Structure 1
Amino acid sequence: MGSLLRPVDLVNQPLGFQERYKILQKLFTQLQKAYAHSKRTNMDLERLATRLEVHVAKNSLSGQSYKFNMSILLRDILKYKGDLSKVKINGRPLKGSKPSSNTGPIFTRSQAMEALKALILDVKALEKNGYIVEELQKESNDECDTQLYVPCLRCNTNFKKIDIMENALCRFHPLKKIYNRETRCHLYPCCGETTNSVSFLRLGCKTSHHHVYRGESYSDLCKISEFSSSAHIDGVENVLSLDCEMAFTSLGYEMIRLTIVDFFTGETLFDHVIQPVGEIVDLNSDFSGVHEIDQTKCPTYREAIGMFLSENLINKNSILIGHGLENDLNVMRIFHNKVIDTAVLYSKTKFKVSLKNLAFEFLSRKIQNGEHDSSQDAIATMDVVKVKIGVSPSQKIWE
C-alpha cells in the first residue's frame, strides 16, 4: 500500500505498532471508499490516513479509548461521505480545536435539576410501564399466589416451583430469535439456527441442569424479601444513575450486583457484588458478567440494602435514572417514585429501544458487546439523559 502507510512513533503509544498498523490499513481502505469519486491519489489518502491515525492516538488515554475512537472515525468517514469537518473525536471536531457545539453550554446545578425534574415519570406512567407503586401495596399484598407450576423462562417447559433445585434437562437459546425479512423466518443469533431447521439444535444450542423462572408480581417478589420504601429515608437531594445485574436462584430472579453513579460528579458511589437470598441456580454470567460470589467478602442482600437505602445514597429526595428501571427496583425490593427511565423516554412504540442502541446513537459509544457491566450501563444511561437535557457528558463542574 505504499511506504507512507505506517503509524507515527509516539512517546506514549496507546497500542503496539502492529495493532496500530492494522487499524491504519482499515482507515486507508475506508478513505478509499469515501473518496472513490474524487481526484485524490492513493498517496494523498495514505498521508491523510496517517495524520488522522496519529491525531486519534495522541488524543486517546488508553488502548481501549484508542480502539473506540478509531471505530467512531471509521464509521463517520462513510457516514459523512468524507466530510471531515463533521467528524468528532472526544466531542471535538477533527478540524480546529474548539469544542463541538454538541457538548452544550455549561449548566448550573439548579438548571440541570429543573430540566431533570421535568423528565420524572408520573404515577400513571409508572403503572403503565410495570413499576410497583407503594400506594397499591396493600391491594397487591392481598393477592393469593396459588400458582404451583410455572413455565421455564428459557425453554418454556412447565415445572413445579418447589422442584427448581431438582435436576432437569433444559435446552434453550441464550439469545432471542430475530426475524429475517429475506428468508421470512426467525433466526437465533447465538448459533445461526432457524425456526425452520430440522436439526436438534433448533430446540436450543445450550443446556442446563435446572429450569428457571422469574416472578414479576408483587406477591411473587415479596416471597424473596419484603419491599422497603425510600419515602421514609431523609437525606440530601441527589441524582443517581443505577444498574443491576441479576441471576436465577431457587426463589426466582435476584440482584447479584448493583452500581450507583452520581449524576453531577460522575463518581461511582456504590458498586458491589451481592449475595442473593435464595440458592444460586445460574449466575447468568454471559449477561451478568458475574462469575462467582465470595460469601466471605460480598455483602448479603440485607446488608446491601442497609448501605444503598440511606441518607447519602437512595432517599426520599433522590432522583433515580435507569433503563427499564422497574426491573432494577423490583430486584432491589424498593419503592421509589422519582424516576427517569430512558427506556420510556425514548420509546416510540410499544417496543422500547435498547440501551445499547441509545448509547451508540446519542453517545457514539459501544456497550454490551459481550458480558454486561452494571457500571458501564449506569454511566451510559446517565450520559444519555445528559444529552437529552443538553448537558455535556464531560461536564463535572457545576455552579
Structure 2
Amino acid sequence: MDEAARILNKTLVPLLSNYLPFFITVLLGWIIVTKYYSDDKNQKQKNEENYSLAADDGGGASSSGSEGNKENASPGSRTQLSRRQKKNKVRNGSPPTGKKKQKKRHAVLRQYTKLNLSDAEIFDSLRGYTLSPEDLFLLGYPIENRLYPGRALIFKNPVKRFDVNAKLFVPNEVYVDLLVHNGGSTFERRTESGVHLKNPDSDKSSEKKCVRCSKTFFISPEGEYLTQEHCLYHWGKLQRPLSGGGESHYTCCKGRKNTKGCTTGKLHVWNGLNDGWNGPYDGYVRTRTKKTPPPDGNYKVYALDCEMCYTTSGLELTKISVVTHDGRLIYDTLVKPESSIIDYNTRFSGVTAKDMAKRTKLLKDVQSDLMGFISADTILVGHGLENDLRALKMIHTTVIDTSIVFPHYYGLPYKRSLKSLVHSVLKRDIQCDNTGHDSIEDARSCLELLLWKLRKDRVSSKNFDNDLNLQ
C-alpha cells in the first residue's frame, strides 16, 4: 500500500497540478457556451412568437381595411406588442410551418412581378375584362333597380344550358329597363321577346329543394325546419370517364349515378335562391363613386374569396379574405351568420364550430370595413364572384370573374373549378387539404390567373401588331 501511494504521489499529483487549471478552464468554457446557445434559442422562439402574431394581425383583424394602421403592420415588425396582441399571443406549440405559410400569404405574386407594369397600368388594362351589366344580370349577381332603390334583385336562370349573349327575360311586374350601375348611373335595356317570369318572392310557399340530395323539404316563413330528417348525399361531383365510355361516377366514393349517398347530413340544406327572380332584398349595400378621382386614374384592384355555411336562410357568410393587386393580404376575418347554422360546410369552407366560437364580426361591420376601401370603380376579382357578393350582401358592378375569363369547354352554365384552372394554367395544386379551402389561397390564385391572362394577351397583342407592321 505504501508503495502504491508512493507511485501515485510521484505520477498523479504532478499530473493534476499541471493540467487541473486546463480542465477547469475547458469546463467553464463549456458552461458559458451552453448558456449562450440556450439564451439565443429562447430569444429566437420569442421572436417567432412576435412574428406569428404580427402576421396573423396583418389583415385578419383589420377594422378599417387600411394598409397603414397598427393592426395591419407588415409581418415581422419589431414594434411593441399592444394589449390585444399580448392577449392573442401565439404559443410555443404553434406548428413550425406557420411562419412559412404566413410569409407566403404576404409575398408578392410571381405574375405581378413578371408583368412589370405600374399599378395604374394594370388597373387600366384589366378594365377590358370586366363583366357587362347584362352579364351581371344573367349570371346571378345582385343588382339594383330604380323602382327598388337600396334593395337588391337576384336572377337565377332556370335554364340548364344558356348563353350570356341570349335575349334577357323580363320578369312579371319587375322592370329591368333601368338597372342602377356603377355607383348610380343606369343602363337601358329594351326587350323584344315579351317573355315574363313569375316573381318567386310573391309565392309564400315554404317548399325548398335540397341542394345536396334534391329532395323536397319545408321551412316555415320564420325559419323553422318543418321537415326533420337526415340528408343522405354524395359530397363529390358526378364525373364522366375521360375516355368518354362507361358510366359516370361520383368523385367522393366512386359510386355510380342514382346510387345512395355516402354521407349523412343532419338536415337538408338550400342556397337561399329560387329559380327566376329573387327579392327585392333589404340589408344590401352599394359601393359609391369616389368624390375625388385618383390622380393616376387607379381605383385599385382587389381579389376576394368568401366561405359560407348553410343556415335556415340558405348560404351565409362565415369568412372573407381580400388581397391587393399584387397578392398581399389586406383583410381577413371570420363572420357570424345572422340565422341559425344548420351545417358549417367544413369540407369546403374549412370553417368549424370551434372557429366560430372565436372573435367574429357581424356582416354589417364587414360591409362597413369594405366600403372604406372599395369604391364603385374598384375592380373586384373572384371565381364565381356572384356567390361572394350575395353572401356579402353587396351590390358592385365593376367585377372580373375568372370562371368567365377562362370559360368551360361546353359553355355556360358549366364552369371550370378554380382548382383545375390553377393546375392547368399555373401548374400547381391548391385545395389539397382535406380540412377545407383556404380563402386567402383562393383569392391569390384568382388574381394570379388573371395577371397570367393579362400577360399572355399583351404578348399576343404585341405579336399581332408586329405582324401588321411587317405587312
Give TM-score scaled by structure 1 length: 0.65
Match of 1:336 among 396, 409, 424: 396
Deviation at 1:317, TM superposition (A): 2.8
SS at match of 2:129: coil
Residue 230 (structure 1) aligned with residue 287 (structure 2): yes
Q: Aligned equivalents of 1:137 and 1:390: distance in 2?
A: 42
Q: Which amino acid aligns with 1:194?
A: R
Q: Which amino acid aligns with 2:324?
A: D
Matched, 1:367 2:427: no
Go from structure 1 to structure 2 and tell me whether the alpha carbon gap of 1:118 and 1:195 turns closer, same or farther (over 3 Å shift). Answer: closer
Q: 1:145 to 1:333 in 2, by over 3 A?
A: farther
Q: Name 1:32's counterpart in structure 2.
A: none
Report the Cα offset of residue 231 of structure 1: 2.6
Residue 237 of structure 2 aligns to a residue whose secondary structure is coil
3-state SS in 2 of match to 1:390: helix
* Alignment pair present for 1:184 and 2:236: no
**Gaps (5+ residues) in structure 1?**
1-61, 67-89, 92-99, 197-201, 392-399
* Correspondence for 1:207 among 257, 264, 267: 264
Once the 2 structures are TM-superposed, how far is the Cα of residue 389 of structure 1 from its aligned partner? 1.2
The reply to whether residue 156 of structure 1 matches residue 156 of structure 2 is: no
CA distance in 2, matches of 1:338, 1:261: 16
Alpha-carbon distance change, 372 to 365 in structure 1, aligned in 2, over 3 angstroms:
same
Q: CA deviation at 1:179?
A: 1.9
2:184 paired with 1:124:
no
Over residues 103-138 of structure 1, what are the superposed CA-to-partner deviations in whole Å (9 max), with x where a residue is unaligned?
Answer: 745112222122111111111222232223223773
Q: CA separation in 2, counterparts of 1:127 and 1:251?
A: 22
Q: Could you say what secondary structure the match of 2:424 adopts?
A: helix
Change in Cα spacing, 1:304 to 1:329, as seen in structure 2 (3 Å) is same
> Aligned AA for 2:133?
V
Q: Which residue of 2 aligns with 1:324?
A: 384
Distance 1:352 1:137 in 2: 32
Q: Which has the larger radius of gyration?
A: 2
Q: Deviations over 1:39-90 (max 9, x none)?
A: xxxxxxxxxxxxxxxxxxxxxxx79999xxxxxxxxxxxxxxxxxxxxxxx9
Do the aligned partners of residues 255 and 140 (structure 1) sit closer, same or farther apart at CA in structure 2, a change above 3 Å counting?
closer
2:217, 2:227 within 8 Å by CA — same for their partners in 1?
A: no
Can you list the C-alpha shifts for 1:184-239, whole angstroms capped at 9, x where unaligned? 2121111121137xxxxx2101112211111235975666x521101367687211
Give, in whole Å, the separation in 2 of the partners of 1:343 and 1:226. Answer: 27
Deviation at 1:151, TM superposition (A): 1.1
Cα RMSD (Å): 3.2
Question: CA 1:192–1:304 in structure 2 vs 1: closer, same or farther (change >3 Å)?
Answer: same
Deviations 1:8-57 (A, max 9, x none): xxxxxxxxxxxxxxxxxxxxxxxxxxxxxxxxxxxxxxxxxxxxxxxxxx
Cα pair 2:143 2:153 within 8 Å, conserved: no
Is the deviation greater in 205-214 or in 359-368?
359-368
Whether 2:332 is the aligned partner of 1:267: answer no
Give the AA of the match of 1:344. Answer: I
Match 2:447 to one of 374, 382, 391: 382
Question: In the alignment, is the contact (CA less than 8 A) between 1:165 and 1:250 conserved in 2?
Answer: no
Q: Does 1:193 align with 2:255?
A: yes
| Structure 1 equivalent of residue 356 of structure 2 | 294
Kept in 1: contact 2:142–2:153 (CA 8 A) = no
Q: Structure 1 CA distance, aligned partners of 2:286 and 2:246? A: 48
Matching of residues 1-399 of structure 1 within 5 Å: 104-135=114-145, 138=148, 140=153, 143=199, 144-162=202-220, 163-164=224-225, 167-180=228-241, 181=243, 184-195=246-257, 202-216=259-273, 226-231=283-288, 237-264=299-326, 266-292=327-353, 293-295=355-357, 297-310=359-372, 312=373, 314-348=374-408, 349-350=411-412, 351-370=414-433, 371-390=436-455
Which residue identity does 1:367 align to in structure 2?
I
Contact residue 152 and residue 212 of structure 1 kept, 8 A: yes
Compare 156-165 and 369-378 and name the one that shifted more: 156-165
Which stretch has the larger CA shift, 159-168 or 338-347? 159-168
For the 8 Å contact 1:275–1:295, the answer to whether it is kept is no
CA distance in 2: counterparts of 1:363 and 1:245, whole angstroms? 23
Any stretches of 5+ residues in structure 2 without a counterpart? 1-96, 102-108, 155-173, 175-198, 457-471
Question: How far apart in 1 are the matches of 2:146 and 2:272?
Answer: 18
More off after superposition, 336-345 vs 213-222 = 213-222
Q: 1:147 Cα deviation (Å)?
A: 3.1
Task: Provide the C-alpha distance between the structure 2 equivalents of 1:167 and 1:233, rounded to a whole number of angstroms.
Answer: 49
Residue 356 of structure 2 aligns to a residue whose secondary structure is coil
Alpha-carbon distance between aligned partners in 1 of 2:113 and 2:359, rounded to the nearest angstrom? 41
Is the 8 Å Cα contact of residues 145 and 220 (structure 1) preserved in structure 2?
A: no
The aligned amino acid for 2:419 is K
**Counterpart-to-counterpart distance in 2, 1:64 and 1:177:** 38
Alpha-carbon separation, structure 1, partners of 2:215 and 2:146 = 32
Give, in whole Å, the separation in 2 of the partners of 1:166 and 1:157: 11
Q: Cα gap change, 1:317/1:195 in structure 2, threshold over 3 Å: closer, same or farther?
A: closer
Change (3 A) 1:364 1:234: farther
Residues 272 and 244 of structure 1: CA distance in aligned 2, closer, same or farther (over 3 Å): same
SS at match of 1:231: coil
CA distance in 2, matches of 1:105, 1:270: 24
Same amino acid, percent of matched pairs: 27
